[in-house]
């Protein structure tokens, strides 16, 4: 299987502590044995090569270990705790811990193994996750929690050994409940690290989830992540995602609008620089109408960076009354940066309003000139415009709990853009 | 009163106009494909050795290749050994030198198609190289063209009379193993057109080929090669209709265009192969490879297509923008009705500096048809200053059809500007009522709205073609609205 | 109301009940309009003014559940919208729809020829049509460029309404119903529209102005003013009624009718 030795994988899964997850693990293993990890010949993986992360997985399977916590990781936790009033659950190096003293009202957590087994994996990375997880986290939201619920995915790499982490979180929001969720991915250390996170979010009738995702992992660390969102009638999902760090990052966001009146709005911003590979794949299934989906992703690429964006909206037969919009805008700031973008529509209904717009381009020359005529230097003017480009996503933040922290992060990252003066 | 989309679908119901079989005996090879068949094709066409070798090389590559499955189309596997790879009218030995000598039955066929060949040729000043069952039977206006130094002849003639040009350019845009169908075509192509416009010449007339599939069970494999030398200009029109038939027929053409420095080629197609009946029986499989190479600086290639026919369409007329400042254009209307499936679009490969491309695609889906736009815009690292604008619109008629958009954009240069926009709409009840309140019948209103939707593409077509295209569209959508 | 009280009756609406969706909008409306007359139909929002216009034009979303609409003494309930149009009924839409890519001139010529054909006249050729259209546009103070644009595509509110009047001027209907043609117009556009309407006033033509405000009636003097409330005409009078309505509001009439 594409870089991962099956014998080692089988042996490792066999050695996991017996649990109610065993049958699911076996089924996942079987799927992996048949299909393996996708190669770039697979349409969904055309621009993203998993060979490196498969090699890390294999190296880890050869010498499995759990990294120990680092001072940098501890300091970061303290920083986040003081940055905002959020009830954090910490998923660190494979173990799960609540950082809050008392369980927030309306939130009940349990282990995946205490729940009915998860559905059969629909893709290879979920299969890999299901086969290898020791356990997962299930969060039930039954009321409207006062503070945002935070999920901090933190990986410490304390030595130079290849490290692998698999995490799974299932969130269920009861009918009529509303919850704010922060999903934060961070990692520390210099060794090769690969994290594979699987999340599901089920929204009951009239439920609302506002979701903020921040990914600022170490530059040598890779992440594949999948979030499946299912919406019942009149449920709403609002999300903004910020990808700043990491080496290879692949996000799969799948939104299933299975009932009338459901709505999903999600925005994304990726700042992708030297040595980074950032791949966003979104899919929205409109199964009935009326239902609405809007997505807007913006990318800033600099250095030897590769960005991939693939947005797909599928309007199923009978889903009349669908309103779907996709947007992807990219700023290419360096000669070595590349963007591959593909907004897809598959429509099997008639009464639909679907549109997509994609652009790849540079800063507006007229705006640059205008700013310079007001006395800004060329470099200042460019940075200002890049900041303005990114600000559109910040303006779309679904809630403000982490906005100061986030703006600081963004500005730090933007300041790292070196070759912004590329001649146009 | 009937303004609901379902009603609209019933309004229009005209049988495929061009469905009939001309009764000219053909001398075909028996079905099947091996090296002997290829030798026989080559021998029958009296080809030079290099051509046979080229065909055989293509055939051997084809044997190793897989039929593509990525397109959004679905069909029963094709038995390539059940196809006869050569059919020619009996009069092959003694081909007519002018229209007067052409089999009157053939002329009758053209009449039925509404294309009075000689009339049209004389009045419109169009030279016509009519490919009838794979072999050219009539070529007119040769004298006038040769005065200008333009070569416009059947591919077979070009192989004999201009082997140096054929050798130089054949396969230089679409290599033999480019794809499964192109490889097959390279091995067995029967005939087609060849055009060479010398340096600095503006072709004195629009060149046009009408061709149709006619013999039963004969896959048709045309090969077209157009070379526009430095500073030249040519507009080429290709239109096709096909007789009604129950069995599926394979059509795998290859068209290669070469534009040298400062040259411009405008290639227009109206494609109206038999689409199959309302239930999807019969109809042509149209698996075509069309590609233009803007080889010289300041060159331009423009594709305009109106695709209304065929059971399955698989074609992506493309431009390789190699020369600095070269320009590629793609204007397309694709109609899919009943059980038709279309997967069509373009590729714009920007290699040279300051290259520009424009894509305007209008897809109309009706009945139970599936209509997909698939396009690639690729800006290579050396293509500084490249520009692309893509507009991709779908019009849906009815609740059981599909409209899909798969645009790929791969950008590797920071000074590129690439823009893609897509919209999906339907004919609204308000629009229909508005037109009807002005006294216009529902059927005319639908045609008017559809033609309005396609306007940006139609205006790229030569005038007489534009009229034909509009009519075709109306005929194709008959039975769609209602 | 009994039929044909007047000797010039063109449109006779008798006890009309119209339903759209789940709602009964017109509930026994009767109205008689004679050739050469200008009628204004006024009333508060939701009183059924637009429904009446749409029902006369034959919009299929409006079901006639009872009563009759007679045009020239013939029941038109079974006629398709295009047949009514060819008989000479014109509806100036409150919200004219955009039809992208369809040339204004093309639609207008097709409409005119459909009508001429219906009347047994020869179709007009492109040259004559252009001459006619430009004449009418000059009268309405419209830029001839207008003809080359897509039907209502990207038009401002005022342009859309002028375009409706242009179509009316070219098609020369016998019965013109103008649904809120004055809404959203600035004073210049309003005057232009009014001039267009006034130019069409003639002995053999009837005009129905559906409006919420009295403003338009400063420029087009109606012969009759009717107040529509809750699906029926509750009050009719001459032009002074419009002024009275402007001063006293609609509640007054509705109450008077109820009382």
Per DSSP, what are the bridge partners of residue A186? A154, A216
∠ Cα C180 B4 C230 (to 5°): 40
Per-residue pLDDT at C88 exceeds 60: yes
Pick from B398, B410, B419: CB nearest A340: B410
Q: How confident is the model at residue A160 (pLDDT cuts 50, 70, 90)?
A: confident
Which of A124-133, A414-423, B285-294 comes out lowest in average pLDDT?
A414-423
Is residue C156 in some structural domain?
yes
Helix (H), strand (E), coil (C) string for chain A: CCCCCHHHHHHHHHHCCCCCCHHHHHHHHHHHHHHCCCCCCCHHHCCCCCHHHHHHHHHHHHCCCCCCCCHHHHHHHHHHHHHCCCEEEEEECCEEEECCCCCCCCEEEEEHHHCCCCCCCCCHHHHHHHHHCCCCEEEEECCCCCCCEEEEEEEECCCCCCEEEEEEEEEEECCCCEEEEEEEEEEECCCCEEEEEEEEEEECCCCEEEEEEEEECCCCEEEEEEEEEEECCCCEEEEEEEECCCCEEEEEEEEEECCCCCEEEEEEEEEECCCCEEEEEEEEEECCCCEEEEEEEEEEECCCCEEEEEEEEEECCCCCCEEEEEEEEEEECCCCCEEEEEEEEEECCCCEEEEEEEEEECCCHHHHHHHHHCCCCHHHHHHHHHHHHHHHHHHCCCCCCCHHHHHHHHHHHHHCCCHHHCCC
How close does chain B come to A201, measured CA to CA in Å? 28
Chains that touch C (3 or more CB pairs under 8 A): B
- B435 contact residues in C (CB cutoff 8 A): 99, 107, 111
Q: How confident is the model at residue C256 (pLDDT cuts 50, 70, 90)?
A: low
Higher pLDDT, B247 or A313: A313
Going from N- to C-terminal start, the domains of chain B cover 5-476
- B417 contact residues in A (CB cutoff 8 A): 359-362
Query: What is the pLDDT, as a whole number, of residue B93?
Result: 43
Q: Scanning every residue of chain B, which has its alpha carbon at the shortest distance from the alpha carbon of C83?
A: B439
Q: Express as a percent the part of chain C with pLDDT over 70.
A: 96
**Total number of domains constituting chain C:** 1
Pick from C86, C96, C103: CB nearest B434: C96
CB pairs under 8 A between A and B: 115
Pick from C61, C99, C106: CB nearest B431: C99
Pick from B414, B419, B420: CB nearest A335: B414
> Residues A383-409: what's their mean pLDDT?
89
Query: What is the pLDDT, as a whole number, of residue B56?
Result: 96
How close does chain B come to C105, measured CA to CA in Å? 12
Q: φ, ψ for residue B67 (rounded to 5)?
A: -65, 130
CATH number at C179 reads 3.40.50.300
Query: What is the pLDDT, as a whole number, of residue C8?
Result: 86
Look at C82 and B453 and tell me if their CB atoms are within 8 Å.
no
B454 touching C, CB under 8 A?
yes
> Residues A91-115: what's their mean pLDDT?
91
What residues 393-432 of chain B have any CB closer than 8 A to a CB of chain C? Answer: 428-431
Is residue C3 in some structural domain?
no
Q: Scanning every residue of chain C, which has its alpha carbon at the shortest distance from the alpha carbon of B454?
A: C101
Pick from A43, A332, A347: CB nearest B394: A347
**Total number of domains constituting chain A:** 1
B402 touching A, CB under 8 A?
yes
What confidence tens digit (pLDDT) does each residue in B124-177 have?
333 444 444 334 434 456 677 888 999 988 888 899 999 999 999 999 999 999
Mutation target vs B (from A286, A351, A358, A386; most B CBs, 10 A cutoff): A358
Per-residue pLDDT at A222 exceeds 90: yes
Query: What is the pLDDT, as a whole number, of residue C196?
Result: 86
Is residue A186 in some structural domain?
yes
Look at A346 and B414 and tell me if their CB atoms are within 8 Å.
no
Query: What is the pLDDT, as a whole number, of residue B217?
Result: 38
B406 touching A, CB under 8 A?
yes
Look at C150 and B441 and tell me if their CB atoms are within 8 Å.
no
∠ Cα A214 A219 A225 (to 5°): 45
How many other CB atoms are there within 10 angstroms of residue C144's CB atom?
Answer: 12
Cβ atoms of residues A181 and A171 within 8 Å: yes
Cis bond upstream, residue A63 (ω within 30): no
B449 touching C, CB under 8 A?
yes
Chains that touch B (3 or more CB pairs under 8 A): A, C
How close does chain B come to C225, measured CA to CA in Å? 25
- A45 contact residues in B (CB cutoff 8 A): none
What's the domain range around C25? 9-258
Per-residue pLDDT at A421 exceeds 60: no
Look at A340 and B416 and tell me if their CB atoms are within 8 Å.
no
Mean residue pLDDT across chain A: 92
Look at B449 and C99 and tell me if their CB atoms are within 8 Å.
yes
Which of A226-240, A306-320, B36-50, B245-259 comes out lowest in average pLDDT?
B245-259
Output Rg (C-alpha) for chain C, integer angstroms: 18
- C85 contact residues in B (CB cutoff 8 A): 436-439
- A337 contact residues in B (CB cutoff 8 A): 414
Query: What is the pLDDT, as a whole number, of residue B103?
Result: 52
What confidence tens digit (pLDDT) does each residue in B207-226 have?
876 543 444 334 578 899 99
Mutation target vs A (from B366, B398, B414, B425; most A CBs, 10 A cutoff): B414
Is residue A367 in some structural domain?
yes
- B406 contact residues in A (CB cutoff 8 A): 342, 344
Residues with pLDDT less than 70, chain B: 1-27, 87-142, 209-219, 240-248, 464, 475, 478-482
Per-residue pLDDT at C86 exceeds 60: yes
Q: Token match 């009939």: residue?
A: B20
Per-residue pLDDT at A403 exceeds 60: yes
Q: Which of A133-137, B186-190, B351-355, C80-84 has the highest mean pLDDT?
A: B351-355
B397 touching A, CB under 8 A?
yes
Pick from B397, B399, B408: CB nearest A342: B408
Q: How confident is the model at residue A371 (pLDDT cuts 50, 70, 90)?
A: confident
What three-state secondary structure class fits B90? helix
Look at A335 and B413 and tell me if their CB atoms are within 8 Å.
yes
Look at B405 and A356 and tell me if their CB atoms are within 8 Å.
yes
Query: What is the pLDDT, as a whole number, of residue B138?
Result: 42
How many angstroms separate the CA atoms of C13 and A176, rounded? 51
Is residue A411 in some structural domain?
yes
Query: What is the pLDDT, as a whole number, of residue B388?
Result: 96
What three-state secondary structure class fits C251? helix
Pair type for strands C23-34 and A306-315 = unpaired
Query: What is the pLDDT, as a whole number, of residue A364?
Result: 83
Cβ atoms of residues B257 and B301 within 8 Å: yes
Which residues in C have their CB inside 8 Å of a CB on B?
57-61, 80-82, 84-86, 90-91, 93, 96-97, 99-103, 106-108, 110-111, 114-115, 118, 150-151, 167, 171
Look at B424 and A347 and tell me if their CB atoms are within 8 Å.
yes
Higher pLDDT, C259 or B439: B439
- A339 contact residues in B (CB cutoff 8 A): 409-411
Is residue C46 in some structural domain?
yes
Cβ atoms of residues C123 and C116 within 8 Å: yes
Chains that touch A (3 or more CB pairs under 8 A): B
DSSP B443: H
What's the domain range around A351? 6-421
ipTM score: 0.87
Query: What is the pLDDT, as a whole number, of residue B209?
Result: 67
Cβ atoms of residues B281 and B59 within 8 Å: no
Residue A357 region by backbone torsions, left for phi larger than 0, else alpha for psi between -120 and 50, else beta: beta
Q: φ, ψ for residue B323 (rounded to 5)?
A: -70, 145
- B430 contact residues in C (CB cutoff 8 A): 97
Query: What is the pLDDT, as a whole number, of residue B223?
Result: 92
B410 touching A, CB under 8 A?
yes
> Residues C138-164: what's their mean pLDDT?
87
Pick from B379, B405, B426: CB nearest A350: B426
Cβ atoms of residues B103 and B24 within 8 Å: yes
- A353 contact residues in B (CB cutoff 8 A): 424-425
What confidence tens digit (pLDDT) does each residue in A24-67 have?
999 999 999 888 899 998 999 999 999 999 999 999 999 888 88
Output Rg (C-alpha) for chain B, integer angstroms: 22
Look at C114 and B439 and tell me if their CB atoms are within 8 Å.
yes
Query: What is the pLDDT, as a whole number, of residue B482?
Result: 52
Look at C101 and B439 and tell me if their CB atoms are within 8 Å.
no
Which residues in A have their CB inside 8 Å of a CB on B?
43, 317-318, 320, 330, 332-335, 337-362, 422, 424
Is residue A1 in some structural domain?
no
């Amino acid at each position: 299987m594409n870089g991962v030795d099956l014998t080692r994988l089988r042996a490792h899964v066999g050695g996991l502590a017996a649990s109610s997850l065993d049958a699911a693990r076996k089924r996942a293993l079987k799927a992996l044995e048949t299909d393996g990890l996708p190669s770039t010949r697979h349409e969904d993986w055309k621009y993203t090569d998993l060979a490196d992360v498969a090699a890390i997985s294999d190296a880890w399977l050869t010498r499995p270990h759990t990294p120990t916590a680092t001072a940098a990781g501890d300091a970061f936790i303290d920083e986040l705790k003081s940055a905002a009033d959020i009830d954090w659950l910490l998923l660190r190096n494979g173990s799960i811990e609540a950082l809050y003293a008392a369980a927030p009202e309306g939130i009940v957590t349990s282990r995946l193994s205490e729940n009915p087994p998860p559905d059969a994996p629909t893709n290879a990375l979920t299969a890999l996750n299901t086969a290898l997880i020791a356990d997962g986290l299930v969060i039930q939201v039954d009321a409207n929690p006062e503070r945002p619920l935070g999920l901090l995915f933190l990986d410490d790499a304390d030595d130079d050994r290849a490290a692998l982490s698999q995490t799974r979180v299932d969130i269920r929001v009861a009918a009529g409940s509303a919850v704010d969720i922060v999903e934060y991915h961070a990692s520390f250390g210099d060794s090769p690290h690969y994290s594979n996170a699987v999340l599901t979010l089920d929204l009951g009738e009239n439920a609302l989830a506002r979701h903020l995702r921040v990914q600022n992992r170490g530059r040598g660390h890779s992440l594949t992540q999948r979030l499946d969102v299912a919406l019942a009638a009149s449920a709403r999902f609002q999300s903004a995602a910020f990808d700043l760090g990491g080496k290879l990052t692949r996000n799969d966001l799948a939104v299933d609008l299975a009932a009338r009146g459901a709505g999903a709005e999600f925005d994304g911003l990726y700042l992708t620089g030297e040595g980074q590979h950032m791949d966003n794949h979104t899919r929205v299934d409109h199964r009935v109408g009326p239902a609405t989906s809007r997505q807007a992703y913006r990318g800033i690429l600099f250095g030897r960076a590769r960005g991939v964006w693939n947005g797909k909206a599928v309007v199923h037969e009978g889903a009349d009354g669908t309103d779907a919009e996709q947007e992807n805008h990219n700023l290419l700031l360096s000669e070595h940066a590349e963007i591959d973008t593909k907004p897809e529509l598959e429509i099997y209904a008639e009464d639909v309003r679907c549109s997509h717009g994609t652009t790849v381009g540079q800063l507006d020359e007229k705006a640059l000139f205008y700013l310079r005529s007001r006395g800004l230097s060329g470099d200042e003017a460019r940075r200002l415009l890049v900041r303005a480009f990114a600000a559109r996503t910040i303006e779309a933040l679904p809630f403000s709990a982490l906005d100061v922290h986030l703006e600081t992060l963004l500005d730090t990252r933007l300041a790292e853009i070196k070759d912004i003066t590329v001649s146009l | 009163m009937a303004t609901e989309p379902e009603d609209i679908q019933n309004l229009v119901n005209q049988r495929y106009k061009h469905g009939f079989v001309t009764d000219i005996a053909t001398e075909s090879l028996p079905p099947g494909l091996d090296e002997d068949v290829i030798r026989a094709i080559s021998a029958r066409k009296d080809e030079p050795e290099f051509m046979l070798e080229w065909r055989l090389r293509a055939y051997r590559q084809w044997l190793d290749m897989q039929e593509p499955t990525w397109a959004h189309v679905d069909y029963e596997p094709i038995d390539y050994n059940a196809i006869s790879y050569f059919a020619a009218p009996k009069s092959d030995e003694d081909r007519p030198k002018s229209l007067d000598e052409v089999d009157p039955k053939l002329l009758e066929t053209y009449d039925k198609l509404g294309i009075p060949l000689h009339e049209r040729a004389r009045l419109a000043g169009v030279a016509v190289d009519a490919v009838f069952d794979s072999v050219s039977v009539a070529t007119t206006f040769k004298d006038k063209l040769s005065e200008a130094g333009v070569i416009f002849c059947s591919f077979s003639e070009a192989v004999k009379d201009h082997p140096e040009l054929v050798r130089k350019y054949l396969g230089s845009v679409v290599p033999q193993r480019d794809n499964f169908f192109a490889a097959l075509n390279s091995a067995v192509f029967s005939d087609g057109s060849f055009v060479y416009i010398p340096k600095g010449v503006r072709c004195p007339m629009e060149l046009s080929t009408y061709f149709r599939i006619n013999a039963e069970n004969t896959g048709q494999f045309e090969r077209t090669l157009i070379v526009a030398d430095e500073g030249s200009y040519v507009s080429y029109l290709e239109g096709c209709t096909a007789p009604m038939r129950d069995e599926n027929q394979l059509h795998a053409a290859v068209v290669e265009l070469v534009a040298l420095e400062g040259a411009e080629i405008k290639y227009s197609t109206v494609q109206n192969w038999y689409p199959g009946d309302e239930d999807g029986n019969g109809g042509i499989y149209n698996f075509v490879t069309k590609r233009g190479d803007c080889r010289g600086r300041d060159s331009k290639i423009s594709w305009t297509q109106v695709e209304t026919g065929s059971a399955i369409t698989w074609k992506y007329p493309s431009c390789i923008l190699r020369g600095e400042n070269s320009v590629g254009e793609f204007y397309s209307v694709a109609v899919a009705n009943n059980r038709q499936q279309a997967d069509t679009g373009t590729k714009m490969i920007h290699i040279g500096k300051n290259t520009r491309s424009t894509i305007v695609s209008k897809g109309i889906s009706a009945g139970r048809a599936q209509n997909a736009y698939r396009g690639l815009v690729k800006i290579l690292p050396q293509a500084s200053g490249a520009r692309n604008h893509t507009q991709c619109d779908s019009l849906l008629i009815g609740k059981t059809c599909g409209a899909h958009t798969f645009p790929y954009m791969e950008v590797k240069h920071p000074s590129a500007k690439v823009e893609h926009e897509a919209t999906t709409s339907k004919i609204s009840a308000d629009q229909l009522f508005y037109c009807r309140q002005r006294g216009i019948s529902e059927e005319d209103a639908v045609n008017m709205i559809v033609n309005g939707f396609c306007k940006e593409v139609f205006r790229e077509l030569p005038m007489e073609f534009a009229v034909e295209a509009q009519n075709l569209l109306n005929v194709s959508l008959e039975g769609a609205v209602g | 109301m009994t039929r044909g009280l007047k000797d010039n009756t063109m449109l006779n609406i008798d006890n009309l009940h119209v339903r759209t969706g789940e709602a009964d909008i017109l509930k026994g409306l009767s109205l008689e309009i004679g050739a050469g007359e200008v009628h204004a139909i006024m009333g508060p929002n939701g009183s059924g003014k637009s429904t009446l216009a749409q029902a006369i034009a034959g919009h299929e979303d409006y079901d006639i559940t009872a009563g009759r609409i007679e045009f020239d003494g013939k029941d038109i309930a079974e006629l398709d919208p295009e047949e009514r149009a060819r008989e000479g009924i014109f509806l100036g839409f409150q919200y004219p729809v955009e039809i992208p890519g369809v040339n204004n001139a093309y639609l207008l010529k097709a409409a005119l020829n459909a009508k001429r054909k219906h009347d047994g006249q020869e179709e007009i050729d492109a040259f004559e049509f252009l001459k006619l259209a430009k004449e009418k546009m000059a009268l309405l103070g419209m830029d001839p460029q207008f003809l080359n644009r897509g039907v209502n595509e990207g038009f401002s509110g005022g342009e859309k309404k002028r375009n409706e009047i242009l179509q009316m001027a070219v098609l020369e209907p016998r019965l013109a119903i103008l649904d809120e043609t004055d809404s959203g117009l600035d004073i210049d556009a309003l005057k232009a529209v009014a001039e267009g309407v006034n130019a069409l006033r003639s002995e053999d033509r009837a005009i129905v102005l559906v409006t919420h405000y009295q403003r338009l009636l400063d420029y087009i003097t109606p012969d009759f003013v009717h107040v529509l409330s809750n699906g029926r005409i509750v009050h009719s009078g001459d032009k002074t009624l419009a002024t009275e309505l402007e001063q006293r509001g609609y509640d007054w009439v509705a109450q008077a009718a109820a009382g």
